[in-house]
Amino acid sequence: MNISLTLVIIAIVWLVILTSFAVWTFLIFKDLIKISKNKEFSDNTKEIKNIWTDLKQFKENSKLNISRVGLAKYNPFKETGGNNSFSLVLLDANKNGIIITSLHTRERTRLYLKEVKLGKALIELSEDEAKALKEAVK
């Protein structure tokens, strides 16, 4: 067989393969264009954008929910038994929130509330409150 004839056959096979690929690509794009003009496809795209917007809003709003908690139970008074007193820290994602402290004695239980901004208390903390705050902030 002649080299020229071999090259011609290879060229024809190559052109058939390229033409087949071009036709296949054309048909795929034709179907995609038809789908993109379809109203249902457009509605789905709008719905996906709405869901994405809602998700971003939810994520932003969830930063205000309690997401960090710290608890320290202790016995501040020697005359009572058990660790019935506690300090509970409730913070949001921005590290803002409150510290609730309950001091329990035989006669009464007292509750105290302290405010926390950006992970720091606005009033001086006891050792146990500081421990609970540290636990919540970490």
Closest CA to 125 of 87, 74, 75: 87
**Bridging pattern class, strands 68-74 and 120-121:** unpaired
pLDDT digits (tens, 9 = 90+) for 2-31: 778 888 888 999 999 999 999 999 998 888
User: Which pLDDT score, from 0 to 100, does residue 39 have?
Assistant: 64
Give the integer Cα–Cα distance in Å for 42 and 67.
Answer: 38
pLDDT digits (tens, 9 = 90+) for 23-75: 999 998 888 777 776 666 667 778 889 899 999 999 888 888 888 999 999 98
